[in-house]
Each structure stands twice: as C-alpha cells, then as structure tokens.
Amino acid sequence: MAKQKSKSGEAHKAPPPQPESGATPDEAYTIGDPGAFARNMVRVGMQSQRLLSDYLKRQATRTGNEPGDPLNITGAFMDLLRGLVADPAVVMEAQFQLWRDYMGLWERTALQMLGGKPAEPVVEPARNDKRFRDKDWQENQIFNFIKQSYLLTANWVQNTVEKIDDKLDPAARQRVQFYTKQFVDAIAPTNFVLTNPEVLRVTLQSNGENLVKGLDNLLHDLERGEGQLAITQSADAFRIGENIATAPGKVVFRNELIELLQFDPATKEVYERPLLIFPPWINKFYILDLRPENSFIRWASAQGYTVFVVSWVNPDAKLAEKTFEDYMREGIFAALDAVNTATGQKKVNCIGYCIGGTLLSATLSYMAATGDERVNSATFFAAQADFSEAGDLKVFIDDIQLDALEQQMKDAGGVLEGSRMATTFNMLRANDLIWSFVISNYLLGKEPAPFDLLYWNSDTTRMPEATHLFYLREFYKNNCLSQGKLVLGGKKLDLSKVKIPIYLQSAKEDHIAPYRSVYKSTHLFGGPIRFIIAGSGHIAGVVNPPSAHKYQYWTNDAFGGESGKPYPATVEAWQSGAKETPGSWWPDWDAWLSRLSGEKVPARKPGDGKLKILGDAPGTYVKVKA
C-alpha cells in the first residue's frame, strides 16, 4: 500500500517547548501523587463549572441583533451537502478507500504489537507539520496508531471534499475547503489531553497542576477578551517606545487620521527625494520597527533615505463615517503635503504595505486622472490591486457575512473591534496561531514567552465602518479597481494611466496577499515595473534584514523594468526563468530605488524644515489600545 502524506500540517511559528523526559515508559504515564491528582481534578471541575456558567450567562444576554452564523459556515456546508448528494459514487468510493486504509493500519499495528518488526507507516505527517514531533508519536504503538488514524481520516475528509468541488462554484468551493481544513485541524488528537502524549505525561507527572494552571490562563484570556477568547500569544514584556518601536525620530504632523513620523538620519548625507511609507491601518506601523536588528525603518535610514512613516489613528466611534476617500485625502495627500513642507521636495518616493498599498494604488490612479505628480515612484509590500485570486480571506466575503459584519459594526458604535480582525487572521493559520497556544497555554499550563512579532500581532486596531465595508465590497467582493470600475473622488480609476516606476514585492508563502495575486498588478500599471518573490510569508517575507541571512528571493530581469518586455500572462511563466538569490531582497530594492532618489544632500533632521516637532516617535496614536 502506498504511503500517504498528510495534507493538514502547518509549521508552528512559536511552538511550545518539549517537556523534559527522562522517565521510563511505565513511569511516564503514571500518576505521581494520587491524592494531589484527585484534589487538582476537583479544582479543574470547579473551574470548568465556572466557565460553563459564564458562557451560559453570556448566551442569555446576547442581543437579538447578533447574527447566529456571522461567518456563514452553515451556507458552506449546505453547499458541500448538495455536492455530496449530487455525486454519491464519489462518497462510496471514498468510504471504500478509507475502509481499506484502516484495515491496512489495523493489520500493521496488530503485527507490531505481537512482536513483529516495525512496519512502514500507512500515512505520515507533512514534513512541515510540527504537531507530531513528540517521540511517542513514533515510538509508542498506541499513540502512533492514534496519529495515523487521525491523518487517514483528515486526508479522507479533505480528499473527498476536493472530489466534490467540481460540483460547486469557485466561491463555494473555497469556503468548503477552508472550513473543512478548520474542522480537521480542530479534531486533531494533539488538541486533547488523553490523546496528546506530551500533555498526558505532564498531566500525570504534575498531578494535574498543568490543567489547573491552564484553566486559569483560559479564564484570564476570556476576561481579557470581555467574554470572547483572546488568546495570549506573547508575554506582556514589551513597551512601545521603550523596547519595541524605538527608532529615533519625531512626530512632525498630526490630523484626525494620521500622525506623521520623521526619523533621524543615520548618515551625513541623504538622497534628495524623501521616502514616505504607508503601512496598513489594520495593524500598527511598528511591524517595520520591532527591534533595532530587524527594523526596516532603521535600515532604510542607514542607506541614506530621509524616512517618513504614517502612523494611522486607532479609530473610535467618532470616526466611524470616515471613508476610503478620507483615508486618501487626510492620509496620503496630507502626508505628501507635510513631507513637502518639511523637506521642500515636490516629488516623493512612496511605499504601501498591504491595505496601505491598495490605498496607494487607488490614490495613484486618482492622481494620474487629476495631473498630480507628487509621487515619483511607488513600492508595494505584499499589496494587491486585483483581488480575483486574493487567497483565503475571500472566504469571509459574501453578502451574508458582509451584512452580518455591518450589523456587528453598528452595534459596536460604527467600528469593527480589533479582536474580530485578529480572530479572522488567526483562522488563516489555525495550527500556528490558535491550536499551538491552546496546547501550550491551556493544556500544558505554560505562560507564553516574550515574542515581539506575536506581541505586535495581538496589538490590534479598530476599523471604521464606512471605510472597511467599502474596502471589502468594492475591492475584495467586486474587484472594482482592477476592472476600471472604481470611482473615487468623482474620478473613475484606471491603473494603466499610472506611469511612474513600480516595485512589486510578494512572498512565496503569503496567505493574505498571495504572490499570484500580487503578480496580476504587473498587467495593471502603465509604467516600468520590477516584480520579485521573496521567501517566507506576509510578515517575514517583508521584514527580512540582510543581517539575518535568511530565506531568499527570485527575480527575472528578462521582463519589465529596463528590458521593456511585457510580463508573461502567468506567474508560472515568469518563474520558469527566474533567478534565486539567497538572503534578503532589501538590497535589490535599494539598488532600484537609489537610482530614482536624486543626488545626495546634507542630512535632514526633524524640525529642520517648516514643520514643528509635536513629540517624540513613535507618537501617541500607536499607543492607543483597541
């Protein structure tokens, strides 16, 4: 029988550490102190009763406006059911295959338990699946059987769904695949005390202290989330402006939507044209300034750029009616005016990251339509303009879910609470960002270690209702910008009119802005374009300093840029001739941008120009908690 590979594995970003193991197999699964174990189980029971009571109280106080199924999961599985009914032969064939695989597993396990030679496994985890790294998943016959049973079932479920998919429309297919994956990840044996060897050993050896502590952690996270589970992913060991977001600089401009930060120069001379960065307002700007050693802001300053960064406000109900056009006018246009006032430069090089890049794309099209030439070049970090292949986030975009989201935002005073966005992004990598912490925090009873990236990930921001719904409907759902149908400021936007040089950065494992989606922009803009694919994902693919000597990036000089040759229709055609370079892509970008940045001039310090200093970086907006 051919050995299978699991489809459901994902790499942990911050896996809980292995417990110390020196006990014999018999000792490892023996209760240390039965009396202490019994007392702790009583405590667990009492805590569990409190959890259940609190849950029932919250259910009883739910308002009638709250949708019962805001993610439209029922609709996804109704689509699946219709597909199954339409093709019963597929189900019968799949059931026979599962039965045959189980029989093979039973046979091999029985022979091994009777003293036979170790048998080749029927199925193995994917190479990047860290859930089954404990030695007993391989060495203990019972847990090995549990593991393989799960993997067989998980593969069977996902394979069966894939065979039904051709009966569904593309949107339904994507939803069904996504929630099927969520389901098989949730039922993994690693997520339960009795079927996780590491958790079971710790429970027995600590007399259940881990479960008591784990329930305390769970109660803390529920209280922190005001009834919603807000998983603690990092120890609260960071202070913005003290040991994170510490690049030296000043706040030089402020309005209702932005604070503009100008950072201190790191060289005696700087390029004539300043650099203005628009990060996503879904998160906070200091992803580009976590620590000195991985700070893009510090690195760019060290290359001789005068760096300005927009720090978006964390909006409350007073800003609920701020529109996407407001973000263009009070965000991008206000920042461009301020940079001009501070430096005297009429042309600026810009960077847009994620949704900040989408806003920048739309704004550049508006500027092209109005003859505004203040932007000299644009770089896009993991940013999409064509949303036809926008990845798993599209699972959350349909009329039912958007209507439910609108109601939730109205109930919250006109904003989307940051915790809801965080939950959505965590679901995209559930094994990494949910289940690994369920095991570590709640089952093993551990405290999370300090981790700057995960601290930033949990430092959420709110979304104003008008802007967020416009973004989801006009970009994600209707894909208006790429089709020339989007109207902003009374102008119909046409990206082909944007003739300035463009640098498109994408990442091979990006699950939020997939590289296939970013690549589509090579056929949208009308000027010279340089496209690259970096290693890793949406964050590490961007924040990868040269000093780290990590990952790689791919380029293909046969297309775009100086070659003048149009990009091929598919990214696969581009990849066929791409060159791989080890390490960070930042120097490639610097080589590209430096040629567009003018002569060197004496370094500018915040306050040298006509803008007054309003305070120290990182400013006040970034410190507002959602």
* Statement to judge: residues 63 and 181 lie in one domain: yes
Query: For residues 190 and 131, is the Cβ–Cβ distance under 8 A?
Result: yes
Q: Say what the pTM is.
A: 0.90
Query: For residues 492 and 348, is the Cβ–Cβ distance under 8 A?
Result: no
* Statement to judge: residues 55 and 144 lie in one domain: yes
Q: How many domains does the chain have?
A: 2
Q: Which of 209, 224, 239 is the last residue of a domain?
A: 224
CA-nearest of 545, 570, 568 to 558 is 568
* Statement to judge: residues 194 and 260 lie in one domain: no
* Alpha-carbon gap, residue 494 to 474, rounded angstroms: 15
* Statement to judge: residues 127 and 204 lie in one domain: yes
Query: For residues 439 and 16, is the Cβ–Cβ distance under 8 A?
Result: yes
Residue 286 domain flag: yes
Task: Give the CATH number of the domain where residue 337 resides.
Answer: 3.40.50.1820
* Alpha-carbon gap, residue 515 to 582, rounded angstroms: 18
What is the gyration radius of the CA atoms in the chain, in angstroms? 27
Residue 236 domain flag: no
* Statement to judge: residues 175 and 286 lie in one domain: no
- Two structure tokens written together for 563: 């070659």
* pLDDT score, position 24: 59
Mode of pairing for the β-strands spanning 249-254 and 258-263: antiparallel
Q: Catalogue the active-site residues.
A: 354
* Alpha-carbon gap, residue 27 to 201, rounded angstroms: 9
Cβ-count burial of 625 within 10 angstroms (0-12 exposed, 13-18 middle, 19+ buried)? exposed
Residue 444 domain flag: no
Measured in whole angstroms, how far is the alpha carbon of residue 121 from the centre of its chain?
34
The answer for residues whose C-beta is within 8 angstroms of residue 451's C-beta and 6 or more apart is 14, 233, 234, 235
Determine the 3-state secondary structure of 205 from DSSP: helix
3-state SS, one letter per residue, for 560-594: CHHHCCCCCCCHHHHHHCCEEEECCCHHHHHHHHH
Phi/psi for 259 (5° steps) reads: -110, 135
* pLDDT score, position 207: 93
What does 520-570 look like in DSSP terms, one character per residue? GGGGT-SS-EEEEEESS-TTTTTS--GGG---EEEE-TTSSGGG-PPPPSS
CA-nearest of 441, 65, 463 to 222 is 441
* pLDDT score, position 10: 40
* Statement to judge: residues 400 and 466 lie in one domain: yes
* pLDDT score, position 15: 40
| Residue whose tokens read 């590209």 | 592
Reading phi first (left if > 0) and then psi (alpha if -120 to 50, else beta), residue 158 is in alpha
Q: Which of 176, 206, 224 is the last residue of a domain?
A: 224
| Residue whose tokens read 């502590």 | 213
CA-nearest of 260, 419, 245 to 332 is 260
The answer for residues whose C-beta is within 8 angstroms of residue 331's C-beta and 6 or more apart is 257, 258, 278, 310, 312, 359
* Statement to judge: residues 255 and 399 lie in one domain: yes
Cβ-count burial of 353 within 10 angstroms (0-12 exposed, 13-18 middle, 19+ buried)? buried
| Residue whose tokens read 């890793």 | 536
3-state SS, one letter per residue, for 257-326: CEEEEEECCCCCEEECCCEEEECCCCCCHHHHCCCHHHCHHHHHHHCCCCEEEEEECCCCHHHCCCCHHH
Helical axes 73-86 vs 170-186, angle rounded to 10°: 100
Residue 506 domain flag: yes
CA-nearest of 553, 481, 562 to 515 is 553
* Statement to judge: residues 215 and 254 lie in one domain: no
Cβ-count burial of 451 within 10 angstroms (0-12 exposed, 13-18 middle, 19+ buried)? middle
Phi/psi for 249 (5° steps) reads: 180, -170
Other C-beta atoms closer than 10 Å to the C-beta of 505 total 28
* Statement to judge: residues 92 and 216 lie in one domain: yes
* Statement to judge: residues 161 and 309 lie in one domain: no
- Two structure tokens written together for 21: 């193991």
* Alpha-carbon gap, residue 175 to 77, rounded angstroms: 9
Burial per residue of 452-483, b for 16 or more beta-carbon CB atoms within 10 angstroms, e otherwise: bbbbbbbbbbbbbbbbbbbbbebbbbebbbbe
CA-nearest of 483, 486, 541 to 511 is 541
Residue 455 domain flag: no
Determine the 3-state secondary structure of 158 from DSSP: helix
CA distances from 536 to 87, 131, 392, 495, 515 (A): 39, 20, 17, 28, 11
- Taking the chain (626 residues) in runs of 10, the rounded mean pLDDT of each run is 48 41 65 86 82 72 63 76 72 78 81 73 89 93 92 89 76 87 94 95 94 92 84 93 97 98 98 98 96 97 98 96 97 98 97 98 98 98 96 90 92 90 89 94 94 93 96 96 96 97 97 97 97 96 97 96 88 97 98 97 95 97 92
Residue 338 domain flag: yes
Residue 103 domain flag: yes
Structural domain containing residue 13:
4-224
* Statement to judge: residues 254 and 220 lie in one domain: no
* pLDDT score, position 8: 45
* pLDDT score, position 121: 86
Query: For residues 306 and 271, is the Cβ–Cβ distance under 8 A?
Result: yes
Q: Which of 164, 190, 224 is the last residue of a domain?
A: 224
- Two structure tokens written together for 240: 């913005």
Q: How far apart are the first and last CA of the chain?
A: 54
* Statement to judge: residues 360 and 488 lie in one domain: yes
Measured in whole angstroms, how far is the alpha carbon of residue 376 from the centre of its chain?
30
Residue 301 domain flag: yes
